[in-house]
Amino acid sequence: MIRYALRCGNGHEFDEWFASMADYDHRQSELTCPECGSGGIEKAIMAPRLGGNSAPEPAATPCGLPACASGQCAFAD
C-alpha cells in the first residue's frame, strides 16, 4: 500500500491509500476531494525540507586545500 498526499484544484489537501502506483494511475481520474467534491485530483508536491538544524556549508576556500582554510594557502594573495 502506498499513501499519497493529494490536492484538489481548490487547494484542499488530503491523503489516500493506493495499492500501487498503477492503482493511483487507474483511479486518479475518478478521485474527488472529500472537502469540496471536485475532481482534478493530483498528487501534492512534497515540499523539500528547508532550513532546520542542518549545518551550514563550510565556506569555500580559494584552492580547497586544508592549509588554505588555515590561512596558509600558497595560492591566496
- Contact window for Zn ion (CB under 5 A) among 16-24, 25-33, 41-49, 60-68: 25-33
* Rounded distance between C-alpha atoms, residue 23 and residue 46, angstroms: 20
Task: Check binding of 12 to Zn ion (CB under 5 A).
Answer: yes
Under 8 Å between Cβ of 44 and 77: no
Q: What are the grid coordinates assigned to 40, written together?
A: 482534478
Stretch binding Zn ion (CB under 5 A), from 27-35, 39-47, 49-57, 64-72? 27-35
Rule CB under 5 A: is residue 8 a binding residue for Zn ion? yes
Q: Is 35 in the site for Zn ion (CB under 5 A)?
A: yes
Site residues (vs Zn ion, CB under 5 A): 8, 10, 12, 33, 35-36
